[in-house]
Amino acid sequence: MRLVLLGAPGVGKGVQGNLLKERYNIPKISTGDILREVINNKTPEGIEAEAFLRSGKLVPDSLINNIVNKRLKNDDCENGFILDGYPRTVPQAEFLNEILSKNSETLDKVINIEIDENIIIKRLSNRRICLSCGELYNMLTDPPPEDGVCRVCGEKVIQREDDKPETIKNRIEVYKKETQPLKEFYESSGLLVEVDGNNDIRNIHKNIISLME
Ligand code: AMP
C-alpha cells in the first residue's frame, strides 16, 4: 500500500495519516516532521532548510528529494508507506515516480483532502504539535493536557513558528501555486481520490477507507 496525502496545510493530512498508519501498519512519512527534526538537530540539511520553513516557503526540490529517497529505502517501507506533505511540486512527483519505478513499484492512491479556506486558517492558528513525536493537538477541539506535555511521549507541546498568522497566508499561497497542480498530475494518471475534509476526523477516515477498499 503506497499512499500520498495531498491537500493544503491544515486540511488534516497528519491526523488522517496517523489513522491510516494504525490501520495498515505502514509508516507515515511526514516531510515537515523530518525537516523540523533536522532543524532541531542542526544538521547541514537542517541549516539549509531553516529559513524556508520559517517564512512558509518550500525547501528546494533537491534537498527534500534526497531526504525522501533515503527514507524510502528504510526496511519499514517494505510493505508500503503513507507520504504526508510530499510531493508538493510537480518535479517532486516526477522524482517520486522515478525512484519507485526503479524498484518496479507504483503508487496505489493519492488522497486529496479539501476544506474551505477560512477553516484552514482557523485550524492552523489553533494547531499545536509535539516537536518530539509529531502528535497533533487543536486548542478548540483536542487540546493538550493541562500541564502542556504530550499525551504520547511526555515532551513539550508547542505552536509551530509557521502556524502564526503572518506565515499561514503565505503557506496557502505557496500551496495554490506550487502544489495544487499536482491534483491534475495525479488525476491524469488515475490515482486521485477526493475526500471532503469539512467533516469530523472519524467520518473522514471512514470515507477514505471506503474509497480505498
Ligand atoms: P508541513 O509540516 O507539511 O506543513 O511542512 C512544513 C514546512 O516544511 C513547509 O512549509 C515547507 O517549508 C517544508 N516542507 C515540507 N515538505 C516539503 C516538501 N515536500 N517540499 C518542500 N518543502 C517542504
- Which pLDDT score is estimated for 210? 94
* Percentage above 70 pLDDT, the chain: 100
- Which pLDDT score is estimated for 147? 86
Per the prediction, the chain carries an average pLDDT of 95
The fold of the 2-116+179-212 domain, in CATH, is Rossmann fold (3.40.50)
Task: Identify the band that residue 93 occupies on the pLDDT scale cut at 50, 70 and 90.
Answer: very high
What is the mean pLDDT of the segment spanning 134-154?
A: 92
What is the mean pLDDT of the segment spanning 75-83?
A: 97
Domain boundaries, the chain: 2-116+179-212
Q: Which residue among the candidates 21, 71, 160, 183 is catalytic per the annotation?
A: 160
- pLDDT, tens digit, for every residue of 50-70? 999 999 999 999 999 999 999
What is the mean pLDDT of the segment spanning 177-203?
A: 96
Task: Identify the band that residue 92 occupies on the pLDDT scale cut at 50, 70 and 90.
Answer: very high
Please tell me the pTM assigned to this model. Answer: 0.93
Which residues lie with the beta carbon below 6 Å from any ligand 1 atom? 9, 31-32, 35, 52-53, 56-59, 64, 85-88, 92, 162, 171
3-state secondary structure of 199: coil
User: How much distance in Å is there from the Cα of 85 to the middle of ligand 1?
Assistant: 6
Task: Identify the band that residue 186 occupies on the pLDDT scale cut at 50, 70 and 90.
Answer: very high
> Does 193 score more than 90 pLDDT?
yes
- Which pLDDT score is estimated for 150? 96
User: How much distance in Å is there from the Cα of 17 to the middle of ligand 1?
Assistant: 15
User: How much distance in Å is there from the Cα of 30 to the middle of ligand 1?
Assistant: 9
Task: Identify the band that residue 146 occupies on the pLDDT scale cut at 50, 70 and 90.
Answer: confident
d(CA 158, CA 175) in angstroms, rounded, equals: 23
User: Ligand 1 atom 1: the closest Cα is on which residue?
Assistant: 32
- Which pLDDT score is estimated for 9? 95
Q: State CA 122 to chain mean position distance.
A: 18
- Which pLDDT score is estimated for 213? 81
* Percentage above 90 pLDDT, the chain: 90
What is the mean pLDDT of the segment spanning 91-99?
A: 98
What is the mean pLDDT of the segment spanning 110-116?
A: 96
Tell me the CA end-to-end span of the chain in Å, nearest whole number.
Answer: 11
- pLDDT, tens digit, for every residue of 7-53? 999 999 999 999 999 999 999 999 999 999 999 999 999 999 999 99
Where b means 16+ CB within 10 Å and e means fewer, 110-149 reads bbbbebeeeebbebbebbbbbbbebbbbbeeeeebeeeee
